[in-house]
Structure 1
Amino acid sequence: MERRRFLGAAGAVGATALGAGCIGNLGGSGGSRTVTVDWAYYNPVSLVIREHDWMQEAFAETDTDVEWVLSLGSNEANEYSQSGEAEFASTAGIAALMARSNGVPIRTPYVYSKPEWTALVAPSDSGISEVADLEGKSVAATRGTDPHFFLLQALDQAGLSESDVEVVHLQHPEGQTALVEGEVDAWAGLDPHMAELELENDVDLFFREPNFNTYGFLNVLEGFAEEHPEDVRRVLETYERGRQWALDNPEETAGILAAESEMSEPVAERVFTQRTDLSTPLPGDQHRELLSDLAPILHEEEMVSEDADLQAAVDELIDSETARPVIE
């Protein structure tokens, strides 16, 4: 668990260093400008691409360098987009909609996964076996990410609201640690941290609902996409290369996930082979419908302004055409 604290701290330091221009170029060619792309443990395709240096390869004959930054959650990825510190960032679908509704100028040309990456987790001896048992309890969650929205949907289905529990807002690795150390009663978990707890600690995933998980979105800054369409094409082509390789090499992909996140091979295999679907990379109607159904939560929880046009934001966010030519 201590290494999780270190990873969380490293992510926070990395974000600060990025703002100061201190994150080094990984494989850049000394070009005249830089494209910054995030990587995340919850985005296995990004790990594959980074492992093979394929993004640097895609830009090798241009005057553009590539930098990688670590996102520990959708909230951090959205912060990169909002500040303009990353042109491409990985989030859950509902988190992308929240950002777009709040004026962050992103759109989603690519879906990196259809995961079941979140569930509600509690120690096996906690007496918590259903969502209703959370009333009056403390629950760790990362505000603005899929696990947080998962928790809100679960509470609503059980006839509860966020005010009926004490939500402790922690980054995903810190939420994992807080649960193990008894600092919270439950955790809105995220893989791979959740799978690690499931296999290595005495915990239960006491509430699972795959349809409450939103897709993994790769977002791009709208202005960048309009000014540099060839760069966007290179990134999307590289993502397709990574996705196809991951589909063809599931064991090796699980191995990369294990190595990058310092987890065991069984944990990585559970995350990638049992809970990750890479078959739907092109955003489309199913994503629009899902976000439209979930959008009211953003108003109810006051995560967007009262006058935010959420349906317009859905339509502006989902880009079904840009990646079409590069998807096999």
Structure 2
Amino acid sequence: MKRRLLLFSVLSAFLLLAACGQERSASLSSPKQSASTDSWPKELHVGFQKSSFSLFLKEKGYLEKQLQKHGVQVKWFEFQSGPPLLEALNAGQIDIGYVGGAPAVLAQANPDSQLVYLAYEPEVARAIIVPKTSSIHTVADLKGKKVAFGKGSSAHYTLLTALETAGLTLNDITPVYLQPSEARTAFERGDVDAWVIWDPFLADAEVNGGARILIDAKGLPKQYGFIVGRNEYVKQYANVAQTVIAQLNKVHQEIHSSPDEAAKLLAKETKIGEEIWKRTLSRRGYGVFPLTKEVIDAQQRIADRFYEAGLISKRVKAKDAVVVIKEQ
């Protein structure tokens, strides 16, 4: 017997556990792609960043426990930010991962894109920071200054939209493209005037790096985090995608209910202080949610702004990368 299911219809129990207080808009209609849930692969390659809760999932081993009964071996691959993770996804080196909204747009604009959106997470704290002693006190003061950020990362969009609040564009600053670890060094040495970054690196810079927040992302256009998959893999092995989403949501709820214990584990694995992680966990939302029109509309705004800014060469439609599961 054949029947069609939306990706999350089989996860009703999981959705009941999702973090309370999150606003939901109507579910997306007319999804463009479908996937089968009738088989299991030999391996699952997961891309993760140490700044994401995927690290906690990795250390807890929940995914391995669920998938080993189906003969699936889980392999983990670490990346410093979203763009290199998505390069690996488009190249077929990983199957599932977590990224911010901006790098997902860039990956979708790739002619050989394999990216599909599976679920979303609430925003994490992001901001433009400057040294506490800096003479820069407004966004307008960034004109002509050196600003460090990851090219194509969520910080890239944060900077773009922040500059717009002061009537500036990326052409008005000197971009310095650096990954978080390199940017931290450049920031502390004074090689750059400002740095655009996300938690926990943001919290660490505030507490230990002599940083002051110039502007945070709270008043800027929303940029959600996404669980993304490789199209060919997800269409063939939807059961795996469902398992990843359910276990990642379990991790979110565990961290939310016991943040101090989570901070200890994350501090051990990242070498970022326990107090920094407590600060990070206290100012973010929790839960892994089905994609909604509101979320995809926010993603479309990123795509439109990147096209207008010349960061991507063609227009993309975010909704075209939304997946539907088909069970046979």
Q: Same fold (TM over 0.5)?
A: yes
The corresponding residue for 2:52 is: 43
1:212 Cα offset (Å): 3.6
The corresponding residue for 1:217 is: 226
The corresponding residue for 1:191 is: 199
- Residues 103-159 of structure 1: CA deviation (Å, up to 9, x unaligned): 312111122x31333100110111011111111110001011111110011112211
Verify the 8 A CA contact 1:175 1:189 in the aligned structure 2.
Answer: no
**Moved segments of 4+, more than 4 Å:** none
Q: Does 1:287 align with 2:295?
A: yes
The corresponding residue for 2:81 is: 73
In structure 1, stretches of 5+ residues that fail to align are 1-30, 323-328
* Residues in 1 aligned to 2:174 and 2:258: alpha-carbon distance in whole angstroms: 42
Verify the 8 A CA contact 2:96 2:230 in the aligned structure 1.
Answer: yes
1:280 Cα offset (Å): 5.3
Alignment of structure 1 residues 1-328 onto 2, 5 Å:
33-44=42-53, 46-103=54-111, 104-111=113-120, 113-210=121-218, 211-274=220-283, 276-279=284-287, 281-305=289-313, 308-310=314-316, 313-319=317-323
SS at match of 2:46: strand
Verify the 8 A CA contact 1:117 1:213 in the aligned structure 2.
Answer: no
* Residues in 2 aligned to 1:246 and 1:119: alpha-carbon distance in whole angstroms: 23
* Structure 1 residues 59 and 279: CA distance shift in structure 2, 3 A: closer
Verify the 8 A CA contact 2:124 2:198 in the aligned structure 1.
Answer: no
SS at match of 2:261: helix
* Residues in 1 aligned to 2:204 and 2:322: alpha-carbon distance in whole angstroms: 33
Moved more, 239-248 or 193-202: 239-248
Paired letter, 2:115 = I
The corresponding residue for 1:23 is: none
1:32 Cα offset (Å): 7.8
Q: Percent identity?
A: 23
SS at match of 1:61: helix
1:53 Cα offset (Å): 0.8
1:292 Cα offset (Å): 2.3
* Structure 1 residues 219 and 149: CA distance shift in structure 2, 3 A: same
SS at match of 1:252: helix
| Higher normalized contact order (CA 8 Å, seq sep 6+, divided by chain length) | 2
SS at match of 2:128: strand
Verify the 8 A CA contact 1:58 1:235 in the aligned structure 2.
Answer: no
* Residues in 1 aligned to 2:168 and 2:229: alpha-carbon distance in whole angstroms: 35
* Residues in 2 aligned to 1:142 and 1:129: alpha-carbon distance in whole angstroms: 22
* Residues in 2 aligned to 1:115 and 1:270: alpha-carbon distance in whole angstroms: 15
Superposition TM-score, scaled by structure 1 size: 0.82
Verify the 8 A CA contact 2:44 2:72 in the aligned structure 1.
Answer: yes
Verify the 8 A CA contact 1:135 1:160 in the aligned structure 2.
Answer: yes
* Residues in 1 aligned to 2:194 and 2:131: alpha-carbon distance in whole angstroms: 8
* Residues in 1 aligned to 2:252 and 2:157: alpha-carbon distance in whole angstroms: 26
1:218 Cα offset (Å): 0.9
* Residues in 1 aligned to 2:190 and 2:281: alpha-carbon distance in whole angstroms: 28
Query: What is the root-mean-square deviation of aligned Cα atoms in Å?
Result: 2.1
1:175 Cα offset (Å): 1.0
1:98 Cα offset (Å): 2.2
* Structure 1 residues 280 and 220: CA distance shift in structure 2, 3 A: closer
In structure 2, stretches of 5+ residues that fail to align are 1-39
SS at match of 2:70: coil
* Residues in 2 aligned to 1:171 and 1:163: alpha-carbon distance in whole angstroms: 21
Verify the 8 A CA contact 2:307 2:315 in the aligned structure 1.
Answer: no
* Residues in 2 aligned to 1:318 and 1:253: alpha-carbon distance in whole angstroms: 31
Paired letter, 2:157 = F
